[in-house]
Amino acid sequence: MSSTAARPPVKPPVVQPGTGNNIIVNPCQRLNPILDHVRNVGKEFGDIVSDFQVGRTTGVLFLSLKYHRLHPEYIHTRIEKLGHSFNLRILLLMCDVSEHQEPIRELTKTCLINNITIMVAWFPEEAGAYLSTYKQFEHRPPDMIKERVDKDHLSILRTALTSISKVNKTDVETLRTSIGSFAEIASTPSSRLLSLPGFGQVKVRRMKDAFEKPFRNQA
C-alpha cells in the first residue's frame, strides 16, 4: 500500500503503465459500461491501485451510487488501498439513484479528509467523456479557463471600458475616436461626455463613478 505509489510494481506481462498515451484500466472495471464511452484515447489493462489511471499522477476511482447503496463499505476499502498515491485523486461518482443527497454528503466528507476530488456524472457517456478528457488534458496548460489576456490595445481598451455598466462597444468607439487615450477619457469632464452621441445622464454618472470615485469609501 505504501511505496507502490504512482508506478505499480513491474510484473512481466503487464505493460508499464503511466507512460503511454493510454488510459490504464484496472481489470476489475472490465465490465464497466462506461468503458464503451471512452473515446479517442487508447485503453489498456494494468495492475494499478486505482480504477483508472488517466495520467502519470492522476488516479480515478469509480463508484456508482447504486452500488454504494448496496455495499457502503466498498469505497472505503478502495480509498484505503489507494493510500497516498497520486497527486490528483478523483472519485468519479455515477449519480444513478434519485436519493442522492445523503450519500453525496457522506462521500463529500470522506473525500475531503482523504484528499480526493469528487466529480459527478449522470450518464455513462458523461463519465466516459470525463475519463478521456482527463487523459487528453494531462499536459494541457490551463489557458482555456484562464483570464484571457488580449494583446492588442483596442481590445484591452474595450474590455476595460465595457466593464463599466451601461457602456457598450459602440460607446467605446465613440470615446476612442472623439476623445482619445484612456488617460484622456479618464480626465474628460462630464459636460463633454454628455455631448457625445449615446451618452445620457446615467451612463456618464456610471463612468464618473468608476473613474473618479475613490476605490474605498470610508464607511
Partner 1 sequence: MLALLPFHKSILEDIHDPATSDFVLLARGLGLRRIVCTLMKIYDSPQSLTLLLNASPDEESAIGEELGVMGCRKPGLRAVGYEMGRKDRQDLYNQGGLVSVTSRILVVDMLQSDIPTELITGIIVLHAEKVTPLSLEAFIVRLYREKNKIGFLKAFCDEPEHITSGLSPLRTILKELQLRTVHIYPRFHEDIKKSLAERRADVIEVYPHLTESMKDIHTATVQCMTTTLAELKRSNTTLDLDDLNVDNAYFRSFDAIVRRQLDPVWHKVGPKTKQLVSDLATLRRLLTYLLSYDALAFHAYLETIIASNTTGAGGGQKQHQSPWLLTDAANIIFQVAKRRCYTLSKKKLTFPSADDLDPAEDEEAWAALDEIEFGAGAGRRAEKEKEKEKEKKWLPEGMDPVLEELPKWETLAEVMEEIENEMLRFESMGMSSSFTPGSNTVLIMTSSTRTSNLVSEYLESMDASAPPGQKGRKMMQRKLRSYLWWKSKLSGQKGDGRPPSRLPEKVGHVLDVGDAAQDEGVSEALKRKDRERVERQQNRRRVRGGAANASVSTRGKEKKNEVTAVGEGSMKDEADDIAEFLMTHGTSAAELLSFDDSGPPSLTAFDEDIARSLDAPEFDDVYGLLAPQQTVVVRSYSDDSDDMMLAEIQPRFIVMFEPNQDFIRRIEVYRSSSPGLGVRLYFMMYRNSSEEHKYLLGLRREKDAFERLIKERGSMLMPILEERRSGSNDAMIKTISSRIAGGRKELNKEPSSVIVDVREFRSSLPSLLHASGLVIVPATLTVGDYVLTPDMCVERKSIPDLVSSFNSGRLYTQCELMSVHYKQPILLIEFEEHKSFSLEAVSDMKSYVKPTGKYPQKKPNNGPADPDGPSAPSIQSKLVLLTLSFPRLRIIWSSSPYATCNIFADLKLNNPEPDPSTAISVGAEDDAERGAGVNAAAEELLRSLPGITAKNVHYVMSKVGSVRELCELGLEQVQDILGVEPGKTCYEFMHKSSRKKW
Residues in the chain: 219
CB of 125 to partner 1, least distance (A): 8
Hey, which residues between 4 and 33 contact partner 1 (CB under 8 A)? 21
Assess 216 for contact with partner 1 (CB under 8 A). Answer: yes
Q: Are strands 117-121 and 88-94 parallel, antiparallel or unpaired?
A: parallel
Q: Which of 207, 218, 93 is nearest to 160 (CA)?
A: 207
Question: Residue 108, interface with partner 1 (CB under 8 A)?
Answer: yes
- Write down the least CB distance from residue 9 to partner 1, Å: 24
Among 1, 10, 156, 202, binds partner 1 (CB under 8 A): 156
- For cell 503487464, what's the residue? 14
Kind and range of the H or E run holding 44 = strand 42-45
Q: How far is the CB of 184 from partner 1 (least distance, A)?
A: 7
- Among 7-15, 26-34, 61-69, 142-150, the segment contacting partner 1 (CB under 8 A): 142-150
Candidate list 30, 139, 195, 197; residue touching partner 1; CB under 8 A = 139
Asked if 39 and 23 touch (Cβ cutoff 8 Å), the reply is no
Q: Helix or strand or coil: residue 71? A: coil
Distance CA 115, CA 128 (A): 23
Scan residues 67-106 and list those touching partner 1 (CB under 8 A).
Answer: 87-88, 90, 93, 95, 100-101, 104-106
